[in-house]
Chains A and B, each alone.
Chain A
Amino acid sequence: MSVTENQEKKALLARRTLIEAVYRAKAAHLGSSLSCIEIFISSLDFTNEPDSLIISKGHAAAGFYASLHANGVLPEEVLRTYGQNGSVLFGHVSKESGYGIQFSTGSLGHGLPFGLGLAVGSGLMGKTRNVLVVMSDGELNEGTTWESALLASHHGLSNLTVIVDRNGIQSIGRTEDTVALEPLKDKWLAFGWKVIEVDGHSFGQLNDALNHADDGRPTVILAQTTKGKGVSFMEDNNIWHYKPPNEGEMRLALAELEVY
């Protein structure tokens, strides 16, 4: 099995366990999680220092847990506690969970400046780390994103990579109708970053982008994705930012994912 075939297999497993977990927990953010499964799995496969992977898009926690499970890091019995009292799995990515999670998120705009600290600080310590930060596109509204974009560029942090899950939908509307981000590539270029645009559901493209050549600049990977990816009636529909599936919807979704 090739690397990407193995990753496809893990993504299918992650989507299925994600939908079951969100159904059991009656939790939100299913659509946001489905859009970044390939991003999570390729990032987990890429990084050999789990504490250098920052999930700034903390609301995609269930998707990250399912990806950690598919990667053999998070046991199924722990994943099954999601949404229960006493579980170590919070509704947003949290350090308390363990499993290599070093930074708690949930309030948007914290992950990139934290990653910046790791990237600058490790270099000054003489032990440069490759830091990877996964962000949502709505999160780009936050001022700290652009403060940090300036700082990373100023310090020439080629060891810092951001992946933006560009699914085009934020909390209550489309990004372009809310606070328009386009032309997004030009914005990052103007801030001094290297920009790589990929299909965010293509492992081949994500893997290549993650292994990009160092040219002395920080890198942003703009990953074009579909919110709710993998389930026809959830794709590109904002209701799944909030609504957990009922039993019928859960079964329909799983049936689609057998052939996906």
Chain B
Amino acid sequence: MRDAFAKSLRETAPRYKSILVTGDLGYGVFDEFRAEFGSRFLNAGITEQSLTSMAAGLSDVGWIPIIYSIANFPTLRNFEQIRNDIAYPNRHVIVCSVGAGLAYGALGTSHFAIEDIGALRTLPNMRILSPSGPMATKLALEDALANPSPTYLRLGKNGEVDLGTEPSSKHTAFQLVTEGSKVGAVMSTGSIGLRVIRAMENVASSASFYSIEELWPPSDELTELVLSQKRILVVEEHVKQTGLFSILSELIQSYNGRTQLRSIAVDPLRLVVAGSQEYLRDISGLGDDAICDGIGWLEEAD
């Protein structure tokens, strides 16, 4: 997703007054963008707090700043700067974090990004886009540039593949990845969707699978989709509280109160040993077995 973001940044640069403000990360990633649009690449050093307020200033003189760093550095380290200087005054600044969930998990708890959705969606005016793959990333960046609101772009790392059903021209609130025959559905966000596809194939599930590409605020389309389900299994690389499961719970409680939800999410207390993203997913609650169990619960709905 990182390379798709960099490519899309370069492709969209002639059409938008974008300016990349990095917290000294993205080694080599933006070389082509820099070659073509050098002055619009600002390495502000390791100053997540200052560079966020600085982005607010850049916005006021006509730029669309994209602040860029990894994991929780551009979302939690600088949370108050996002709150005071971007979200409340409704400035068109894009907060881009690479390394959603446990993508940088091997580097330790400092590099987990599993509370970010919850933190940022408490802020007024904030949109959260959480693309599932490279094509969705490209479309999400376009959407974030075109829509003059503060936007959090939650990206995976690199090497992800598309879920296979991406539209080619326009960002959508969600993708129907697998159309099933049952009323129950699996919903996930981000690159964990590939694991969901694998688990569904393993148990020959006939449920539908939706990848939620736009988390916050919940779109009308998502609301309608959620309320039309009997059961939803939510799979997310985030803690259970405040993430996608919570968003859907709030929707259901606000409307029909009937759709049943089950959560497959990260339990941070289990993350006491090091390992790859796949390994950490396995041990923290996002293992294939857990997802398959959840799918079994969906199948019971009939």
Contact = CB atoms under 8 A, between A and B. Distances in A.
Interface residues of A, number: 31
Given A110-B84, A124-B39, A102 B44 contact: no
Contact of B63 (A102, A113, A124): A124
B81 A110 contact: yes
6 contacts: A109-B49, A110-B85, A113-B54, A120-B54, A124-B39, A144-B49
A147 B56 contact: no
A147 B60 CA distance: 21
Interface residues of B, dominant DSSP = helix
Contacts of A127: 61
B89 interface: yes
B89 A117 contact: no
Interface residues of B, number: 29
Contacts of A148: 47, 50, 54
A104 B89 contact: yes
A121 interface: yes
Contacts of B45: 147, 150-151
Nearest to B54: A117
A115 interface: yes
Nearest to B56: A114
A127 B57 CA distance: 14
A112 B60 CA distance: 14
A144 B85 CA distance: 14
Contact of B61 (A95, A111, A125): A125
A121 B53 contact: no
B49 A104 contact: no
A151 B57 contact: no
A121 B47 contact: no
A125 B19 CA distance: 11
A72 interface: no
The 4 closest A-B pairs by CB, nearest first: A117-B57, A113-B53, A117-B54, A121-B58
A185 interface: no
B88 interface: yes
B62 interface: yes
B54 A102 contact: no
Interface residues of A, dominant DSSP = helix
Given A121-B19, A121-B63, A150-B45, A144 B50 contact: yes
B94 interface: no
A116 interface: yes
A126 to B, nearest CB: 10
Interface in B1-50: 19, 39-40, 42, 44-45, 47, 49-50
A51 interface: yes
A129 B39 CA distance: 18
A116 B54 contact: yes
B49 A114 contact: no
Given A103-B85, A114-B56, A129-B61, 4 more contacts: A121-B58, A124-B19, A125-B61, A144-B47
A122 interface: yes
Contact of A95 (B40, B53, B89): B89
Nearest to B47: A147
B40 A124 contact: yes
A86 interface: no
Nearest to A118: B57
B60 A117 contact: yes
A183 interface: no
Contacts of A112: 50, 53
B50 A151 contact: yes
A143 interface: yes
B51 interface: yes
B280 interface: no
B53 to A, nearest CB: 4
